[in-house]
Amino acid sequence: VKKGDWFYDAVYYNYFAGIMTGLNETHFGPNESLARAQFAVILYRMNDTPDVDYKAVFPDVEDGIWYTDAILWAADTGVVTGYTDSGKFGPSDKINREQMAVMMYRYANYKDYESDAPEDISGYKDADKVSAFAKEAMEWAVGNGIISGKDGGTVLDPQGKATRAECATIIMRFLEKFEK
């Protein structure tokens, strides 16, 4: 990460807030994809990592793994629900942009944040690619300035795998808006 990178401020913000860490002590990995478990951990850190007792909520989330408490906390608060077809969470699955928007939307609702009005997303070239379960969350994310689109703001890329740089930017925008 170098000054001048479009994501520099967001990475810096998250690093010093203790919300996102690097891949190691010297590398952030801005262009690498983010796993669903990693995103749950980020939201968990935003909520000051409360204590969690293990319970078998998802068949693929075992006790004692680095992400277990975060996923169980997120499930208990309604921030995550897992996959409806399998009941699994998919901790190592790469999170896509619409899944990230849904989790952020649910987190804002969990915290009772007062949000701006959702925005019509039909003007984006790929608005028809937003899944039905994510449409309301994506409209919320755009309406609240959490997601602004890619390619000059013309596409949402809802199915695109979210990069660590995109996640850092979304988290920074969210925190600057709601936790001033």
Contact 101, 137 (CB under 8 A): yes
pTM of the model: 0.92
Distance CA 110, CA 145 (A): 19
**Which residue in this structure is represented by tokens 């703001």?**
153
The candidate with the shortest Cα–Cα distance to 138, out of 101, 178, 175, is 101
More confidently predicted of 142 and 2: 142
pLDDT in tens, 48-83: 999 999 999 999 999 999 999 999 999 999 999 999
133 HSE (CA, 13 A, CB side): 13
Burial string for 2-13 (b: 16+ CB within 10 Å, else e) reads eeeeebeebbeb
> In which element (H, E) is residue 133 found?
none
pLDDT in tens, 80-131: 999 999 999 999 999 999 999 999 999 999 999 999 999 999 999 999 999 9
DSSP letter (8 states) at residue 95: P
- Whether the per-residue pLDDT at 23 is higher than 90: the answer is no
Distance CA 76, CA 31 (A): 31
Residues whose CB is less than 8 angstroms from the CB of residue 11 and which lie 6 or more positions away in sequence, other chains included: 1, 5, 20, 28, 30, 165, 168
